[in-house]
Amino acid sequence: MTLKLLNSVGWLYYYRGDYGPAREIYEETLSGQIDHLGIENLDSLKTLQDLGVLEGKSGNYQKAIEHFQICASAYEAQLGPEHPTTLRSLAFMVQQYKNHFEALDIQFRILPLSEKLFGEDRYTLEKIHDIGKV
Protein backbone atom coordinates (compact mmCIF):
# COMPACT_ATOMS: atom_id res chain seq x y z
CA MET A 1 0.00 0.00 0.00
CA THR A 2 1.44 3.40 -0.90
CA LEU A 3 2.03 5.97 1.80
CA LYS A 4 -0.47 8.38 0.22
CA LEU A 5 -3.15 5.71 0.28
CA LEU A 6 -2.24 4.82 3.86
CA ASN A 7 -2.68 8.49 4.81
CA SER A 8 -6.14 8.41 3.21
CA VAL A 9 -7.05 5.39 5.34
CA GLY A 10 -5.96 7.38 8.39
CA TRP A 11 -8.24 10.20 7.31
CA LEU A 12 -11.16 7.78 7.03
CA TYR A 13 -10.61 6.63 10.60
CA TYR A 14 -10.34 10.26 11.72
CA TYR A 15 -13.53 11.17 9.88
CA ARG A 16 -15.36 8.30 11.61
CA GLY A 17 -14.12 9.55 14.99
CA ASP A 18 -11.78 6.58 15.53
CA TYR A 19 -8.84 8.70 16.66
CA GLY A 20 -6.69 5.88 18.06
CA PRO A 21 -6.40 3.93 14.79
CA ALA A 22 -6.16 7.21 12.83
CA ARG A 23 -3.20 8.34 14.96
CA GLU A 24 -1.44 5.01 14.50
CA ILE A 25 -1.87 5.13 10.74
CA TYR A 26 -0.82 8.79 10.48
CA GLU A 27 2.29 8.11 12.57
CA GLU A 28 3.18 5.02 10.52
CA THR A 29 2.64 6.96 7.29
CA LEU A 30 4.69 9.91 8.50
CA SER A 31 7.54 7.67 9.60
CA GLY A 32 7.68 6.06 6.15
CA GLN A 33 7.45 9.41 4.40
CA ILE A 34 10.25 10.90 6.48
CA ASP A 35 12.44 7.85 5.82
CA HIS A 36 11.85 7.90 2.06
CA LEU A 37 11.04 11.52 1.24
CA GLY A 38 12.20 13.67 4.17
CA ILE A 39 10.16 15.91 6.43
CA GLU A 40 10.25 18.84 3.96
CA ASN A 41 8.39 16.85 1.29
CA LEU A 42 4.88 18.16 0.66
CA ASP A 43 3.31 14.73 1.21
CA SER A 44 5.11 14.39 4.54
CA LEU A 45 3.94 17.85 5.55
CA LYS A 46 0.35 17.01 4.59
CA THR A 47 0.47 13.94 6.84
CA LEU A 48 2.03 15.98 9.66
CA GLN A 49 -0.73 18.57 9.27
CA ASP A 50 -3.40 15.84 9.33
CA LEU A 51 -1.80 14.51 12.51
CA GLY A 52 -1.89 18.05 13.93
CA VAL A 53 -5.61 18.31 13.24
CA LEU A 54 -6.15 14.98 14.99
CA GLU A 55 -4.02 16.05 17.97
CA GLY A 56 -6.04 19.24 18.31
CA LYS A 57 -9.31 17.35 18.11
CA SER A 58 -7.99 15.00 20.81
CA GLY A 59 -7.16 17.92 23.12
CA ASN A 60 -3.38 17.71 22.62
CA TYR A 61 -3.16 21.39 21.70
CA GLN A 62 0.55 21.92 22.29
CA LYS A 63 1.42 18.90 20.13
CA ALA A 64 -0.91 20.18 17.41
CA ILE A 65 0.71 23.63 17.53
CA GLU A 66 4.16 22.06 17.19
CA HIS A 67 3.03 20.13 14.10
CA PHE A 68 1.44 23.21 12.54
CA GLN A 69 4.53 25.34 13.22
CA ILE A 70 6.72 22.86 11.36
CA CYS A 71 4.24 22.72 8.49
CA ALA A 72 3.72 26.48 8.25
CA SER A 73 7.47 27.17 8.24
CA ALA A 74 8.17 24.54 5.59
CA TYR A 75 5.20 25.58 3.45
CA GLU A 76 6.24 29.22 3.66
CA ALA A 77 9.80 28.37 2.62
CA GLN A 78 8.68 26.17 -0.29
CA LEU A 79 5.43 27.72 -1.45
CA GLY A 80 5.63 31.28 -0.14
CA PRO A 81 3.79 33.16 2.60
CA GLU A 82 0.76 33.86 0.41
CA HIS A 83 0.11 30.30 -0.73
CA PRO A 84 -3.28 28.88 0.38
CA THR A 85 -1.59 25.83 1.94
CA THR A 86 0.65 28.07 4.07
CA LEU A 87 -2.33 30.16 5.17
CA ARG A 88 -4.39 27.05 5.95
CA SER A 89 -1.64 25.68 8.16
CA LEU A 90 -1.44 28.98 10.04
CA ALA A 91 -5.23 29.03 10.42
CA PHE A 92 -5.17 25.49 11.85
CA MET A 93 -2.52 26.63 14.32
CA VAL A 94 -4.63 29.59 15.45
CA GLN A 95 -7.48 27.25 16.35
CA GLN A 96 -5.25 25.51 18.90
CA TYR A 97 -4.05 28.52 20.86
CA LYS A 98 -5.35 29.11 24.32
CA ASN A 99 -3.31 32.35 24.55
CA HIS A 100 -5.56 34.72 22.66
CA PHE A 101 -2.86 37.30 21.96
CA GLU A 102 -0.74 34.76 20.09
CA ALA A 103 -3.79 33.73 18.07
CA LEU A 104 -4.59 37.34 17.23
CA ASP A 105 -1.03 37.99 16.04
CA ILE A 106 -1.29 35.11 13.60
CA GLN A 107 -4.82 36.06 12.51
CA PHE A 108 -3.69 39.61 11.72
CA ARG A 109 -0.77 38.15 9.74
CA ILE A 110 -3.12 35.93 7.72
CA LEU A 111 -5.79 38.58 7.03
CA PRO A 112 -3.99 40.82 4.50
CA LEU A 113 -2.48 37.84 2.69
CA SER A 114 -5.86 36.14 2.47
CA GLU A 115 -7.50 39.32 1.18
CA LYS A 116 -4.83 39.63 -1.49
CA LEU A 117 -5.17 36.00 -2.53
CA PHE A 118 -8.93 35.47 -2.36
CA GLY A 119 -10.33 38.99 -2.57
CA GLU A 120 -11.52 41.31 0.14
CA ASP A 121 -15.22 40.53 0.15
CA ARG A 122 -15.11 36.78 0.55
CA TYR A 123 -12.17 36.21 2.80
CA THR A 124 -12.19 39.35 4.92
CA LEU A 125 -15.58 38.61 6.43
CA GLU A 126 -14.57 35.01 7.16
CA LYS A 127 -11.30 36.05 8.85
CA ILE A 128 -12.95 38.86 10.82
CA HIS A 129 -15.43 36.26 12.05
CA ASP A 130 -12.47 34.04 13.10
CA ILE A 131 -10.83 36.99 14.90
CA GLY A 132 -14.11 37.58 16.72
CA LYS A 133 -14.03 34.00 18.01
CA VAL A 134 -10.63 34.59 19.62
- Half-sphere exposure of 18 toward its Cβ, with a 13 Å CA cutoff? 11
Q: Is the pLDDT of residue 128 over 70?
A: no
Query: Could you write out the DSSP letters of every residue in 4-19?
Result: HHHHHHHHHHHHHT-H
* pLDDT given at position 101: 58
* pLDDT given at position 100: 58
State what percent of residues in the chain have pLDDT above 70: 75
* pLDDT given at position 32: 96
* pLDDT given at position 129: 46
Residue range 33-43: mean pLDDT, rounded = 95
Residue range 71-82: mean pLDDT, rounded = 94
Q: Is the pLDDT of residue 121 over 80?
A: no
* pLDDT given at position 103: 63
**CB 110 within 8 Å of CB 90:** yes
Name the residue type at position 127. Answer: K
Q: Please state the domain count of the chain.
A: 1
Q: Longest C-alpha distance within the chain, in Å?
A: 43
* pLDDT given at position 1: 61
pTM equals 0.75
Higher pLDDT, 45 or 128: 45
pLDDT band for position 90 (50/70/90)? confident
Alpha helices in the chain (DSSP H): 3-16, 19-37, 42-57, 61-79, 84-96, 100-118, 120-133
Identify the domain containing residue 82 by its residue range: 3-133
Name the residue type at position 111. Answer: L
Rounded to a whole number of angstroms, the distance between the first and last alpha carbons of the chain is 41
Mean pLDDT of the chain: 84
Higher pLDDT, 104 or 14: 14
Residues 6+ apart with CB under 8 A from 78: 40, 42
User: CATH code at 24?
Assistant: 1.25.40.10
